[in-house]
Structure formats: C-alpha cells, structure tokens
Amino acid sequence: MNFLKHTLAFRDADGTTRLEYSDVKITTLPPAKRVYGGEAEAADKKEKANG
C-alpha cells in the first residue's frame, strides 16, 4: 500500500471544500553540481547546445 500522497484542496463555487489525492511519483536524478547565477546560465546554454 502506498501511503505517500499529495493532498489537493479545492473550493467549489458554492463555497464547499473538496479534497482529492494523487500519488507521489518518486524519481531519481543523476548527480549534478548545484550552480546558481551566471554559472547556472552558462551550464544551461552548454546543456542546450549538446542536445
């Protein structure tokens, strides 16, 4: 049984609140250096150029 859920709350036009749930999708990302600012922009350009 999967207990990891996103809880989504909605308010309908009549003011009632409705709750819905969706599964959490757990994925793994490859290790990468965390970069910010100008270095991040340069890394994005390099990644886009390499396809």
CATH of 5-50, one of 3.40.50.460, 3.40.190.170, 3.40.50.300, 4.10.80.40: 4.10.80.40
State residue 13's pLDDT score.
95
State residue 22's pLDDT score.
95
Nearest to 22 by CA among 38, 11, 8: 8
Residue type at 30 in one-letter notation: P
Per-residue pLDDT tens, the chain, 51 aa: give them: 678 999 999 999 999 999 999 999 999 989 988 888 998 898 889 889 987
The CA–CA distances, whole Å, from 23 to 3, 41, 47 equal: 9, 33, 31
Residue-range domain boundaries for the chain:
5-50
Q: What is the DSSP string of 1-51?
A: ----EEEEEEE-TTS-EEEEEEE-------------THHHHHHHHHHHHH-
pTM of the full structure: 0.46
